Structure 1
C-alpha cells in the first residue's frame, strides 16, 4: 500500500484531494502540506529515513503553481537524490505536461480532480513501484463508501431526503431552490438551505456550516449572498454570510461586534454592524 504526501497551497483543494486519497484502499496513509517549505521539510525526513523507514513516502501528489517554489522546482530538487519518491502532478494548467514528464513524473492529473482519474494515477504509481498485486479499486474508482475514512475534515450526510426538492406541479419552476448540491468524491448530496447556519468564504469556494458539520462548494460567497438574500442570509463580514434567524446572540465589546451562531462566534465588520443590529431589532419587533 502507498504512503502519500499531497501538496497544494489552496486548502479546500488539498482537503478534497486528501479525502479522495484516503478513501482509496490502496493508500495506506496520506499526509498534506499547504506550501513548498512544509512539503520539502516532510520529504527531507522521508529521504533521511529511507524508502523502507517509518517516515518513508512513496508518492508525492504535487500542485504546480504555489507561492515561493513551484511544484516543478520541488521535482527538480528531488532528481538529485538516489531514491526519491514518485511524483504525480495535480494542476489546473495543461501547459506544463512536457516539463513534468521530463522530470520523470508518473502522471499529470488536471483539476478539478475526478475520482476515477485519481484512481488511475494511484494505479500507475503502484505499477511503477511493483505493487500491482495489491487490492484494486472497484471499477477503477476508490470505494469510498466501504473504506475507513480517517479524513479530519468531516463531510456529514444530508440531513433530509433529496425528494424534498420542489418538482413540477408543486410550483418548483417558480420557486427558489430549497437545496444546494454538494459534490464530494463523485457523490452528489443535497443539503437543505434551511439547515445552513452560516457560510464561510475560502477563496473561490464556500464552506456551508450546518448543525451537523460542513460542506464545501465551488461557489464564491458573493454569489451565495445574492442568491440567498431573500432567504434571510446577510453579509456580516467579507468572510461570512449568516442566516439571520440562526443568530443566537449579538455582542458589542470594546468596539468589536460579534454574533454567536450555535457554537461559533463570528466577528461582524464595522461596515455591516449597524445594518445587522437594525435587522435584528426589526426581526425581534416582528
Structure 2
C-alpha cells in the first residue's frame, strides 16, 4: 500500500488527481499540496520520519510548471537524499520527459490524466518498491472500476491498413506494416503517417518522431520502432537515431566521422553503422 503526495498549483486538477489516487485500492493515503513550499514542507517531515515512519511518503505525484520552484527543481533537491520518495511527474507538457527520466522518475503522465494511465503509474511505483502491482478485488466503498486488476501498459494504438484476409498472405512485410502511429498531446489522440516521419530520436523510454511540421513524443523504445519499421525503409544510424532512408538528403564524411543531413537536421552516424548505411544509400540511389 502506497502513501502518496500529489502536488499541483491548480486546485481543480489537484482535486481530480487526489480523487483518482484515493479510488485506487493500492493507495493507503493520498495528501495534496498546492505549491512547492507546502510540498517541500511535507516532504521534509516525511524524510525526517524515514520511509518506515508514520509520516513517510512513498511516491510524490508532481506537476512540473508551478509558481516558484518547478517540479523538476523539487526532484533535483530530493535526488540529494539517501532514500527519497519516488517521483511520478504529472504534467501537460511533453517536452520535459528526458529531464524527468534523467532524474530517475518512475513515470511521466500527461494531462488530462486518464484513470487507466494513472493506474499504470501506480503499478510501476509498486513494482519499484517491491509491492504487488495489481489492484485487489473491489472492496467495500471502492468503485469496482478502480479495483479491477491493472494490466500492463498497452502499446501505443496503431491503425493497420485494411487488408482483406484472402489477400493478407500475399502481401509484403511493408504492406502489412502499420501506415500510421497514434500520438497523444494534452489528452487528444491524433494519427501521424509513418511516411511523414523523417527521423526518430531516442529520449529515455520514449521516442520523438520528427516530421516536417514538428515533433511528437511516444512511449515506445527506439529498438521497437527499428524492428517494426525496417520494412518501411527506416535504418538505425546511431544508438539515438533511426532515419527514413529516403529522407536522407546528404551523406557527409569529415575527418573520419560520418553524418547525414535530413532536412535541416544534421545527425551523427556511429562507426558501427557507417559502412552499412553507405551501402544502403548506394543501393537506394541505383535502384
TM-score, normalisation: structure 2 = 0.48
